[in-house]
């Protein structure tokens, strides 16, 4: 079985004691590629260093909405430069977060809008963070030059409703599913994972967060992406290996990451 974890914060401190072992465990269960998105400019450098350390690790560079309080237009130049690195496959993690309300909405909108324009100019997909901001996320995506482009990006850790899913899919975006799709009460989310086109689904961990069953409550890691794949495959009536292969091909097509170097 071949899998790609398209969203994992492998750089976080919670992996400092056993990062090498985490990567080995992922490889052992068929996770051949891991995409690590950045959260701010300094973090971009850390993430890029991981791509040099591990053959199967790729990066996205960007400024997360909760890191955008001091947003400066000049940051786009720094992101453009870092995006030239060989193993950068996306602009992200970018988006809107209205749950924490740490950053004024106009600032979040400016940061997201400029990073969407950067991604379009560079021909890169985007990794979108959306927390309680679906309407504005969709509006900004629709206004961006990425709208209706093939392989525009992914709504990471999708948790919105079916109407939001349809709008994103119509604009050319993929849906990324994480551990919550395995939770007992996540009936609506599983229904979305069943109805979404098979060629637009990605599987993610968002590790160290959102750990799936049966390890819920413990630290998440890339090897556990298989539990996400298993649950969605079962809901769709597919063999897990077949479903996993589809999500791997989707990730390869969207991000350009290949199984063989």
Whole-number pLDDT of residue 261: 39
Partners of 58 in the β-ladder: 35
Mean predicted lDDT score pLDDT of the chain:
97
196 closest CA partner among 154, 230, 134, 245: 154
Q: What residues contact residue 68 under an 8 Å CB cut-off, 6+ apart?
A: 103, 107, 108, 111
- The dihedral over CA atoms of 40, 44, 45, 49, expressed in degrees to the nearest 10, equals 140
**pLDDT tops 50 at residue 259:** no
Strands 3-5 and 31-37, by their bridges, are: parallel
- Structural domains in the chain plus CATH codes: 3-255 (3.20.20.140)
Mean pLDDT to the nearest integer, 35-55: 97
pLDDT tens for residues 129-179? 999 999 999 999 999 999 999 999 999 999 999 999 999 999 999 999 999
Whole-number pLDDT of residue 258: 65
- For helices 187-195 and 225-236, what crossing angle results, to 10°? 70
Integer Cα distance of 7 and 203 in angstroms: 8
Mean pLDDT to the nearest integer, 201-217: 97
**pLDDT tops 90 at residue 101:** no
Strands 31-37 and 173-177, by their bridges, are: unpaired
**Can you give the pTM of this predicted structure?**
0.97
pLDDT tens for residues 114-129? 999 999 999 999 999 9
């Amino acid at each position: 079985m071949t899998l790609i974890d398209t969203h994992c914060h492998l750089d976080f401190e919670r992996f400092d004691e056993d990062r090498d072992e985490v990567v080995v465990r992922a490889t052992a269960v068929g996770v051949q590629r891991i995409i690590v998105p950045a959260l701010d400019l300094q973090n971009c450098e850390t993430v890029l260093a991981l791509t040099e350390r591990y053959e199967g690790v790729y990066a996205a560079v960007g400024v997360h909405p909760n890191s955008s309080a001091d947003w400066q237009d000049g940051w786009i130049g720094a992101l453009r430069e870092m995006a030239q690195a060989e193993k950068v496959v996306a602009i992200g993690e970018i988006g809107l977060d209205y749950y924490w309300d740490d950053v004024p909405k106009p600032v979040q909108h400016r940061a997201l809008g400029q990073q969407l324009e950067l991604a379009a100019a560079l021909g890169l997909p985007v990794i979108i963070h959306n927390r309680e901001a679906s309407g504005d996320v969709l509006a900004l995506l629709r206004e961006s030059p990425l709208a209706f482009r093939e392989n525009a990006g992914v709504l990471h850790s999708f948790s919105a409703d079916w109407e939001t899913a349809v709008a994103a899919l119509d604009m050319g975006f993929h849906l990324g599913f994480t551990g919550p799709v395995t939770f007992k009460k996540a009936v609506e989310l599983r229904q979305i994972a069943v109805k979404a086109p098979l060629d637009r689904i990605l599987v993610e961990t968002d590790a160290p967060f959102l750990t799936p069953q049966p390890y819920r409550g413990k630290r998440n890691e890339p090897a556990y992406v298989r539990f996400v794949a298993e649950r969605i495959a079962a809901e769709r009536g597919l063999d897990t290996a077949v479903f996993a292969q589809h999500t791997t091909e989707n990730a390869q097509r969207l991000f350009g990451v290949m199984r063989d170097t």
